[in-house]
Amino acid sequence: MLETIKSPADLQGLSYEQLTELSAEIRQFLITKVSKTGGHLGPNLGVVELTIAIHRIFDSPKDVVLFDTGHQSYVHKILTGRADQFDGLRQRGGIAGYPNRAESEHDVIENSHASTALSWGDGISRGFAITNQIDRSVVVVVGDGALTGGMSWEALNNIAASNDRNLVVIVNDNERSYSPTIGGLATYLATLRVTRGYEKFLDWGKEVLTKTPVVGNPIYETLHGMKKGIKDIIAPQGMFEDLGLKYVGPIDGHDLVAMERALTQAKEFGQPVLVHVITEKGKGHQPAIEDQAEKFHAVGVVDPETGTPLGKSTTSWTNIFSEEMLAIGEEREDIVALTAAMLGPTGLDKFQEKFPMRTIDVGIAEQHAVTSAAGLAFTGLHPVIAVYSTFLNRAFDQLLLDVALHKAGVTFVLDRSGVTGDDGPSHHGIWDLALTGIIPTMRVAAPRDASRLRETLREALEVSDAPTAIRFPKGAVTKDIPAFERRDGVDVLYRGESADVLLVSIGAMAAISVEAASQAYREGVGVTVIDPRWVKPIPESLITMARRYKSVVVLEDGIKRAGIASSISEAFREAGLNVAIHSIGIPLEFIEHSKRSEILDDLGINAQRISRDIVAWNSTVEEMQFPEHENVDRTQNR
């Protein structure tokens, strides 16, 4: 059956029996393919029938289908003719793990950050109304987890204010985002899940209230006295309808007949409608259904039958942080941990098991997490916010004005910093060094190995009057790289025999830097490699050391624009130091999905290329003459 589906139009002539067979084939296809490439398996197994129903009732791409976050769009990709490309899922030159405009006209939004699709849907549906495209519908699939994000409610507030557009909001309620959905919204949706028979009760209640009152009738007296609140008792969807949204549901998201009936009603309504759908994350794959739901949200290469990882086991940066946080939690009662719906991925799950009262999961609400942390700091606690680097971007204003301005001692642990790879441009953590670099009083550490991660984390937690951040990359932690000496906090990792080049290595770039220096030595160029550990503010000892060298090279895995090399260049100018600076880092562009190692090689961030460049730069540096105090930018980029 699956081989016959090349576009959504191929679904139209199929019977429900055939659609059931197709659903089973899609699930087996996903388990087989994603187990080989890695990807978001659990979310897509849960939306098979839902996605089929959408493409049967709506006419994509004329009707616009938007997936919030987008990690549950694999079935959509299959039904829009991309099944034969899944061998290259999230691989170089293959299809992306999220919707991608370059792949298909059926894909509209590419940003894989949660809670944004409702705002997209609001804008697109308004645009259709304004331009009189009244025959086009907009469908937004948003998870119950994404509804914990404040931006979703900002959008709903605006969507509910108008009644002249064809907008269908499908709440895919599987009780989870990455982790189980938490908070008041989760509790509210739970009441809806268990009241599927409320419609019959509503009809019965209305009948009782319209009958001639009978004195002493306890049923009538009770209901009559509760007129004001009866809507919320027998029709608990009231919150959405009170906003002004027509509510349909809850609907079994795996029942194609019920789904198509509900979506048809919503499409024909002609106003914003919210369809509440109940699905099971990981449906059809027993390992994902049992007690491993969080693990199967996203998988690496695994055994398709058991879900057992097939890659070699390595100690990750996240594991080291997790262990150290647990040890610190035992020592200090003032340490509290915060996460935005990612306890397991950020390594806070162990801390939560040991210290549940000191662990706070705010849902997909990074802005709230940061400002709430400022409040926690005000009470004398020291909050640690563990977040993927890319998601810190969402809370910049709160970091700047609620934390830094108020001198709050909050520590940010930025996992997945630098180039991350498979998840594409929206998940690279290449912006944090530039963003944190413009925040007054903020201190930023970039540990090169496990020992330095433990060390700088403890140092950060001693700072009580300013924000601190610790950043590290995705993947296996590097082997410890010992220092020859430490000069005022700056580690010397490799000594050149001559004072030709000072190579400033930022964080996990240390191993590449030392190897490059070794290769340059064989070409007759003396390179000294240093690791500042704390890269913001720039250590004074770094400036002092730089005075002895002909040139300085800075290697970082963040964007070069406003990065560490830029900060060092500015510090040199302020100190009146006239020395050439060469910047090696990430260009200011959106980088498509590929393996981290492949991307770094593309950018020339490997020991062989760096050593070759150092030798070339050193051969010309003596020819470069810069008049003292001349207002020129001495930073050399590549």
> Which positions make up the binding site?
71, 112-114, 144-146, 174, 285, 366
Parallel, antiparallel or unpaired: strands 335-339 and 551-559: unpaired
CA distance 473 to 597: 12
Q: Spell out the long-range contacts of 32-36 with Cβ–Cβ below 8 A and sequence spacing 24 or more.
A: 32/304, 33/86, 33/87, 33/89, 34/74, 34/86, 34/89, 34/299, 35/299, 35/301, 35/302, 35/303, 35/304, 35/307, 36/87, 36/301, 36/304
Contacts of 30 (CB under 8 A, 6+ apart): 41, 44, 45, 74, 75
CA distances (Å), origin 389, targets 7, 259, 415:
37, 38, 6
CA distance 543 to 570: 11
List, as residue ranges, the binding site for Mg(2+).
144, 174
User: Rounded to 5 degrees, what angle do the CA atoms 107, 113, 115 make?
Assistant: 95
List, as residue ranges, the binding site for thiamine diphosphate.
71, 112-114, 145-146, 174, 285, 366
The active-site residue out of 56, 281, 474, 550 is 281
Q: Is 281 one of the catalytic residues?
A: yes
Q: Is 394 one of the catalytic residues?
A: yes
Give me 337's structure tokens. 């941990």
Give me 392's structure tokens. 């810190």
CA distance 563 to 432: 9
The active-site residue out of 294, 366, 459, 556 is 366
**For residue 140, what is the enclosing H or E element?**
strand 138-143
CA distance 190 to 328: 36
Provide the b/e sequence for 181-192 (b: ≥16 CB within 10 Å).
bbeebbebbeeb
Q: What are the backbone angles phi and psi of residue 558, rounded to the nearest 5°?
A: -120, 175
Specify burial of residue 620 (Cβ count, 10 A radius: 0-12, 13-18, 19+).
Answer: exposed
As beta bridge partners, residue 133 has none
Q: Is 366 one of the catalytic residues?
A: yes
The active-site residue out of 90, 165, 358, 394 is 394
Give me 24's structure tokens. 């089973």
Handedness of CA 518, 520, 521, 526 (dihedral sign): negative
Give me 260's structure tokens. 């198509």
Catalytic residues: 281, 366, 394
